[in-house]
Amino acid sequence: MFNAEQAARAVRRFESKGLDGTAQPMVDELRSRGIDGATLLEVGAGSATALVTLLEGGAGRAVGYDISPSYEKVAGALIAGRGLTDRVEWHTGDYLAAGDTRGADLVFLNRVVCCYPDMAPLVDAAATRTRSLLALSYPRDRWFIRLGIRMINGFLRLRRVTFRVFVHEPAAIDARIAAAGLAEVASGSTAAWHWKVWERVA
């Protein structure tokens, strides 16, 4: 589902046009609140475009997780090309299965929650391990989004691909994050995606 060709295409787009329409405003919001020297955890880091942007924007060190082995080489090349290798700890695999319980000042999940059939363990892990700021995006809960995702999943089923996409209730996501002691400080939407930033309440 997530192959090296897609990863390389994402890097080419990043280098010519910048981050996508959900990652860019989340990064901008984080930077506006001060990230100098901050530690970063990105789950679903993909080709590492947001990760390198945050490091170049002031974050100190980063831990990145992505489940696709195909992305590791492409992400590694981007990280090395920006001279950031010694500031990044990269893991290929499922973040939840890895059992990594370390906290980070910044936690970043762009278009990742929709990859999990049960969002609760992932959202709970991200929220509880956030020391300062959490940025997260997910599909908008609209009829046309649900229809489109049903079509995507039907196509994947025909191709015998086991991966599926999920739309989770935004209110349920918000409630879990609030229960972890974080307060919403910014939000925005594109046609298909909604993003939010939360800050830990003192």
Q: Give buried/exposed letters for 112-148 (b at 16+ CB in 10 A, else e).
A: bbbbbeebeebbebbbbbbebbbbbbbbbeeeebeee
Average pLDDT over every residue of 94-114: 95
| Dihedral sign computed on CA atoms, order 136, 142, 144, 146 | positive
- The DSSP 8-state label assigned to residue 1 in this structure reads -
CB 106 within 8 A of CB 41: yes
Helices (H), 60-169: 69-81, 95-98, 119-128, 143-158
Share of the chain above pLDDT 70, in %: 99
Residue 17: what are its φ and ψ, rounded to 5°?
-125, -10
CB 63 within 8 A of CB 78: no
Read off the pLDDT of residues 116-153 as tens digits, 9 standing for 90 and up: 889 999 999 999 999 999 999 998 887 777 788 788 87
Return the pLDDT at 155: 81
Q: At what angle do helices 49-56 and 69-81 cross, to 10 degrees?
A: 30
CB 145 within 8 A of CB 139: yes
Read off the pLDDT of residues 60-77 as tens digits, 9 standing for 90 and up: 999 999 998 888 999 999
Return the pLDDT at 88: 98
Return the pLDDT at 1: 60
Read off the pLDDT of residues 15-47 as tens digits, 9 standing for 90 and up: 999 999 999 999 999 999 999 999 999 999 999
